[in-house]
Structure 1
Amino acid sequence: MDIRCGTAGWTDRTLIACKRFYPRGSSSAEARLRFYASQFPLVEVDSAYYAMPSASNAQLWSERTPEGFTFNFKAFRLFTGHQTSPDALPKDIAMALPEGITGPRKKNVYYRDMPAEIRDELWRRYREALEPLRLSGRLGAVLFQFAPWITRAPDGLALVDECRARMAGYMMAAEFRNQSWFDEAHAAWSIDFLRERGIVHVIVDAPPDVTNRVHTVWEVTHPALAMVRLHGRNTETWSATGAASASDRFDYDYDEAELTELAVPIRAIATRAGRTHVIFNNCFEDQGQRNARTLMTILRTDAIRP
């Protein structure tokens, strides 16, 4: 089985500040990425959710990692229906927005409000930024984490279909946050919806008693890739509006018993796909890195190592 473990990001400020993961002397961006890639075969570029990625960075990442290393990209938040500050857009595009979209009372913009020509240009630049990694064989999947208000209603289905069309030629993965997708009445339909479109279903582990998450459904929708994202089980911080960062929201340290329990369905799902990606999104300090190492030890020969 081909099971690859990694974390969501490698430069979180709390990870660097804790000084427990990176060895002394790893103070540059290059040194940190090279060390990370010596420890894990996979990483998720979570910064691409907050701002548009660049081809120049992707080229550097390709040069600084060994052959066989994989980058998954988290899709830009505007594409997934999230509210987006104009400051997160490229400056020339932000300046080109019509006056009706921005204004003193509008702090955020939404994908549905974007003129067609601006949508086209944002997608063109996004795909352009992925190219260096795709050409070097280091690009894995592009993860679309859709906003909690994206439901199975026609406009939600249309958004997923548009993202699929825009990402033709790339591996697309979808993580939903609205329970309408995988409740008891609709889970089978949603799995078929993803399978018919060749979209990877993201299996989530998250606090069991929150509403803005989907149910955990251990299914494969693409023969080449299965994906599991572990968000931790911190109910208190999951929906915290005052959380300063993602690391505050996903502050959770899986214990060995929990990881041993998770290893069972991960092994099972790995028999149904060519490759399985397991991403730890509990990104407070070095929790994700420690937990990923522990899971790799539990999986032993099933886990691919650098």
Structure 2
Amino acid sequence: MTSGIIRIGISGWTYAPWRGGFYPRGLKREHELAYAASRFRAIEVNATFYGPQRPDTFANWADQVPANFVFTIKAPRFITHVRRLQDAEAPIASFIASGLLRLDIHLGPILWQLPANFRFDPVRLEPFLRLLPHDTKAAAELGRRYDTRSRAAEWLEVTSGRPLRHALESRHESFRSPDCIALLRAHDVALVCGHSVKWPRLRDLTSDFAYCRLQGSKELDANGYDNAALDELACRIKAWAAGEEAPEASRTGGVAHPRKRDVFVLFDNDLRVRAPANAMELIRRLRA
């Protein structure tokens, strides 16, 4: 069995402490995305979590990155934290219609991050998962259904569908449930493997890709990962990409279907310039 594509990257790219460190001194801010995209194969976009972006913004991001690069997109907190996944069809459609598909080939997985007090509830979660479009054609159709403009946006006129992936990040222990794993597998949604000192760490594989978010080994968003931790992570990533499972003790549900998987690993320990340094160190290990 061949291995899936491994993408190591960072969460966000606009951080003042990175200037003069990760970013060369004198690099213009408008060139920071292109610089970061030349060193990593994926970047997680946080701005979409806090509010809608303009179509031209998505297009501008796409114009600055190489062909083999993708953005993972954090879904709006209005859907996950305000609506708490209820009555979500119109907000999901509006999110798509805002210009998301202008990323074109650079559109990677959409990350749905749940609040820490959101408990696993299949009655609420299953209808939401059913709404998620799994290719760009279905996404465009949903966006057009709720697009209020008099003239349909060109990025919603999609004639062929590319796969569109979704990842769910839970932050409550109640998601450590075989029923949760079965539900995500039924809807082909990846369960995020989060590494955090605050929230549960779940490692079940529930889709054809794995999504891992790293927020610090000892201190949330700030602490880096030492050599031993990066070595262990590199081994796990290679195993995931090759279709191998986590040890039984790390699983909540049954064994996942054996198949190669693409793997996304995003470092979110962005304080003190830990994220880009750790990401580059991990890339070196995977190339060795």
> TM-score, with normalisation over the residues of structure 1?
0.72
Residue 10 of structure 2 aligns to a residue in which SS?
strand
Q: How many residues align?
A: 240
Task: Show the 5 A alignment for 1:112-151.
Answer: 122-128=91-97, 129-133=99-103, 135=104, 137-151=105-119
User: What amino acid does structure 2 have at the position aligned with 1:221?
Assistant: T
Q: Quick one: distance in 2 between partners of 1:156 and 1:113?
A: 7
Does the 8 A contact of 1:79 with 1:163 survive in 2?
A: no
Q: Quick one: distance in 1 between partners of 2:40 and 2:165?
A: 21
User: What amino acid does structure 2 have at the position aligned with 1:111?
Assistant: R
Q: Report the CA distance between 1:194 and its aligned residue.
A: 0.6
User: What amino acid does structure 2 have at the position aligned with 1:43?
Assistant: I
Tell me which residue corresponds to 2:9.
Answer: 6
Correspondent of 2:225 among 249, 254, 277? 254
Q: Quick one: distance in 2 between partners of 1:113 and 1:140?
A: 21
Correspondent of 1:291 among 275, 278, 282? 278
Correspondent of 2:237 among 266, 285, 293? 266
**Unpaired stretches in structure 1, ≥5 consecutive residues:** 83-109, 239-249, 302-306
Cα gap change, 1:38 to 1:154, in 2 (>3 Å): closer
The answer to whether 1:174 aligns with 2:168 is: yes
> TM-score, with normalisation over the residues of structure 2?
0.77
Residue 192 of structure 2 aligns to a residue in which SS?
strand
User: What amino acid does structure 2 have at the position aligned with 1:61?
Assistant: W
Percent identity for Structure 1 against Structure 2: 28
Q: Report the CA distance between 1:24 and its aligned residue.
A: 2.9
Tell me which residue corresponds to 1:103.
Answer: none
Correspondent of 2:120 among 136, 140, 152? 152
Tell me which residue corresponds to 2:183.
Answer: 193
Cα gap change, 1:195 to 1:163, in 2 (>3 Å): closer
Deviations 1:32-63 (A, max 9, x none): 11111111111100121122222211100111
Does the 8 A contact of 1:49 with 1:76 survive in 2?
A: yes
Does the 8 A contact of 2:11 with 2:44 survive in 1?
A: yes
Q: Report the CA distance between 1:267 and its aligned residue.
A: 1.4
User: Which structure has the higher relative contact order (CA within 8 Å, separation 6+)?
Assistant: 1
The answer to whether 1:226 aligns with 2:210 is: yes
Does the 8 A contact of 2:108 with 2:165 survive in 1?
A: yes
Q: Report the CA distance between 1:276 and its aligned residue.
A: 0.7
Task: Show the 5 A alignment for 1:8-23.
Answer: 8-16=11-19, 19-23=20-24
Q: Quick one: distance in 2 between partners of 1:6 and 1:55?
A: 24
Does the 8 A contact of 1:164 with 1:172 survive in 2?
A: no
Does the 8 A contact of 2:129 with 2:187 survive in 1?
A: no
Residue 10 of structure 1 aligns to a residue in which SS?
coil
Q: Quick one: distance in 2 between partners of 1:46 and 1:25?
A: 25
User: What amino acid does structure 2 have at the position aligned with 1:254?
Assistant: Y
